[in-house]
Amino acid sequence: MRQLLVILTLLLAVPALADDDHDRAREALARGEILPLSKILAVVEREVGGRVIEIDFDRDDGRYVYDVEAVSSDGRLVELKIDAASGAVLERDYEDD
């Protein structure tokens, strides 16, 4: 069941990347500069559970990051900034904070 949830999450999240984001992420992954999206989604699952709504791939302060918007398992909107190379959560903001 958990594997099905991960697959569904991947299918929902991949289209959320803009074409430009997708191309830049694919190139950075090929160069070994970032983790695969599946690892980033595992971080999101571990940190907030719930469902990914949107993912953006950016360069911030000289490093690649994923900006992830998700609905947590308790129904709260949360935005995470995740280091694309290490998977470390750099920022976490809840809508009601």
Domain ranges of the chain: 2-94
pTM (two decimals): 0.76
Q: What is the pLDDT of residues 56-70, one digit of tens each?
A: 999 999 999 999 999
Q: What is the pLDDT of residues 70-92, one digit of tens each?
A: 999 889 999 999 999 999 999 99
Burial status of residue 21 (CB atoms within 10 A of its CB: 0-12, 13-18, 19 or more): middle
Domain 2-94 belongs to what architecture?
Roll (3.10)
